């Protein structure tokens, strides 16, 4: 548009120069000049009109694009929230509402990396409900589920907010305890063990004793996640062998 306007104005000025050179009559000269000026003004008006229309079209497109982007951003945000909700749901045990095995795997990897970088104490505790199969067989699976939920609640209540309690599978739970050395981990496990033993669980108006055994292990130099877990698992079985309902730390060499 700018180039066309420039060409039109130059052509009119060129014609004006030619016309003026050949005209001796001032009246006629005035008419010629007025016509040429009017044509130049018309060309400028056309240019401005085209520019105004072009700007309006561009602004309209920008406004439409802005609305589309706003809508897309809202959809993306909603999708992100939905995906995060689905992810969190996938990391949660439906029965106990605790984090599940997958959530534990994610968290222990993070804590293990932090332990390797900074060397701060890190312990894990494996928890297993004693004689759970007998509970299911004598009282039914519905009450067995209630025992699982009750124990899960007690464990969660007795540990710190920075600890992760997860349902590892079946009647087994696991606790990740950052910044916790072996003695502190064993003390914490003993508190949880006592709380579980005191849980009020009744069946046919009779109190049913529920207990759990605990195996505790602290990460040591050269440990992998699996080796520390294996020590905690061995400690758990030693606790069960000693009469169940015990908290035991697995010491090196035992």
Q: Which residues are catalytic?
A: 171
Rounded Cα distance, 76 and 82, in Å: 10
Query: In this structure, what are the phi and psi dihedrals at residue 178, rounded to the nearest 5 degrees?
Result: -70, 155
CB 19 within 8 A of CB 37: no
Rounded Cα distance, 40 and 42, in Å: 5
Catalogue the E-assigned strands of the chain: 122-129, 164-169, 172-178, 202-203, 206-207, 212-218, 247-249
143 Cβ contact partners less than 8 Å away, ≥ 6 residues apart? 135, 203
Rounded Cα distance, 114 and 110, in Å: 6
């Amino acid at each position: 548009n700018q180039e066309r306007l420039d060409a039109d104005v130059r052509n009119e000025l060129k014609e004006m120069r030619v016309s003026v050179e050949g005209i001796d009559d001032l009246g006629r000269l005035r008419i010629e000049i007025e016509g040429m000026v009017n044509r130049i003004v018309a060309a400028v008006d056309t240019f401005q009109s085209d520019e105004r229309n072009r700007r309006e079209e561009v602004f309209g497109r920008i406004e439409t694009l802005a609305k589309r982007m706003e809508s897309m951003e809202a959809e993306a945000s909603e999708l992100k929230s939905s995906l995060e909700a689905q992810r969190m749901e996938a990391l949660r045990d439906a029965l106990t509402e605790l984090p599940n095995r997958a959530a534990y795997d994610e968290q222990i990897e993070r804590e293990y990396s932090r332990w390797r970088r900074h060397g701060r104490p890190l312990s894990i505790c494996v928890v297993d409900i004693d004689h759970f199969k007998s509970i299911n067989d004598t009282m039914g699976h519905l009450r067995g589920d209630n025992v699982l939920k009750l124990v899960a609640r007690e464990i969660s209540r007795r540990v710190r907010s920075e600890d992760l309690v997860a349902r590892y599978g079946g009647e087994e739970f696991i606790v990740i305890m950052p910044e916790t050395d072996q003695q502190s981990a064993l003390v914490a496990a003993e508190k949880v063990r006592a709380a579980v033993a005191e849980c009020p669980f009744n069946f046919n108006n009779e109190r049913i004793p529920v207990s759990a055994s605990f195996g505790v292990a602290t990460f040591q130099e050269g440990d992998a996640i699996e080796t520390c877990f294996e020590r905690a698992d061995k400690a758990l079985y030693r606790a069960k062998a000693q009469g169940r309902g015990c908290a035991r730390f697995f010491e090196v060499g035992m």
